[in-house]
Structure formats: C-alpha cells, structure tokens
Amino acid sequence: MSVKLGVPSKGRLMEKTFDWFGRHGITLGRAGSDREYAGRVDGIEGVELVLLSAGEIPRELAAGRIHLGVTGTDLIREKLAGWDQRVAELAPLGFGHADLILAVPMAWVDVDVLDDLDAAAAAFRARHGFRLRIATKYHRLVRDYLRDHGVADYQLVDSQGATEGTVKNETAEAIADITSTGETLRANHLKILSEEPILRSQATLYRSRRAEVSEADRKVLAELLERLGLD
C-alpha cells in the first residue's frame, strides 16, 4: 500500500502545487513526458502521486480512492453534498484564488444587490410568464445561496462552456460563475452584484475521510503532514 496524493494534472494549478510541496522539501513531478499522467514523488517514501483533473479530485477523495488531494474549494463544495463529512480540509495553499459571483447586465442600472435581483426576478416573471434564467455550472452552491437570501423567482440553466456569453446569446438573463479579475465579465457587459461572493475559493489540500489507511500508511501520513507543517 501507499498514500495516494491527487494533484491537478496540468496548467498553473499543477505547477503551483508542485512549487508548494517543493518548498516543504517534497518534489513532485511527471514520471514521463508532458502527455503522460504518471507521477513521481521524491523526498519522502510511501507516497504515490496521482495526476487527475481538478474536477475529478473531489470524487476520488469522497470515494476513498486517494488519501489526499489538491483542488479548489468551489469544486469540493459544489460536487460533494455534506462535503465536511466526506473530506477534511487540511490547508488553504494560497493560490488559485477566485470568487463565485452573481452578475447581471450592466444595463440593469437598478439592480445592484440581492434585494434588487429578487424584485427584478419577480417583475421579469410577471412580464414574460417564465422565471428569470441564471446560467451556471454551480447549481448546488447557487441554489443554496439564493434560498438563504430569499430570492425565489428564478431558474438555473446549466452552462458548461463560456458562461459569460449566455446573456449576450439570450440563453440566460444573469450568470453565476467563478472569476478572478472580472475582466471577462466587463468585456461581456456584465457587472457583479455588490454583495459578498457566494464563495471565495482557492486551491486547498484535503484529506479523505473514507480512504482505507493501513498502519504503514498512518506512519507515512504522519510524516508527510509533519513535513508540511500540518501535524
């Protein structure tokens, strides 16, 4: 057996995760070419690197197929119902920052906060005969947030592509999406509501509560967490 560590398989999240572990004396890397998904770990024995997409890591943690994983806060909380019963948050890593926000057309000059959106949604339904559409990939998080803030006259429409373009394409009236700078929103003539974001996300190290752990694995985990300053 070995302790399985899931890490994003490409892009800046992978590079910054490698850097973060490297600063703690543990070198992560690909075992072959950039097109291969085999990984290597130097600096500690008994740890196996598993390269996955960031979106797969919550599922693998929840299933207990990996012991540790690095992914975004947003993905854990969206993909895992009762997430804190299935994984334990060990450490925010200080990169991959993004906010899950609600945005509406800039032309909606009277809509700046959630109460305004609630009123606009009710007026939209009365005028058009159907609920205001909010395009998003984050159905669980957005639904819970709007329920908690008393917004009712809306429907969520799934968007797995360029969510910012759905308003221009007239497939939605508003959006809920992840943003780090807001530049793409502004380019699409959208403005963020003047509220706290639905969620402030960043890359975070999680531990599975479901993974089987042998006595040897426990020792490896203890050593690894001590090296990472998380014991």
- Of the chain, the percentage scoring pLDDT greater than 70 comes to 97
Q: Could you tell me the pLDDT band of residue 30, with boundaries at 50, 70 and 90?
A: confident
Q: Which of 202, 209, 199 is nearest to 85 (CA)?
A: 209
Residue 28 β-bridge partners: 41
The string of pLDDT tens digits covering residues 80-92 is: 999 999 999 999 9
Exposure letters 155-166 (e unless 16+ CB within 10 A, then b): ebbebeeebbbb
Please write the tens of the pLDDT for every residue from 39-57.
899 999 999 999 999 999 9
Alpha-carbon radius of gyration of the chain: 21
What is the percent of the chain where pLDDT is above 90? 91
**Strand, helix or coil at 188?**
coil
Instruction: At 161, give phi and psi (nearest 5°).
Output: -115, -130
Q: Which two tokens stand for residue 228?
A: 């990472």
User: Given this model, what pLDDT does residue 37 score?
Assistant: 60
The model's pLDDT over 150-172, given as tens digits with 9 standing for 90+, comes to 999 999 999 988 899 999 999 99
Residues 23-31, mean pLDDT to the nearest whole number: 92
Closest CA to 176 of 150, 131, 143, 201: 143
CB contact at 8 A, 174 and 103: yes
Threshold 0.85, pTM exceeds: yes
- Bridge partners (DSSP) listed for residue 82: none
More reliable by pLDDT, 38 or 62: 62
Using the predicted structure, report yes or no on whether residue 196 has a pLDDT greater than 60. Answer: yes
Q: What DSSP letter does each residue of 47-105 carry, written as one string? A: EEEEEE-TTTHHHHHHHTS-SEEEEEHHHHHHH-TTHHHHEEEEEE-S-S-EEEEEEEE
- When pLDDT is averaged across residues 62-86 and rounded to a whole number, the result is 97
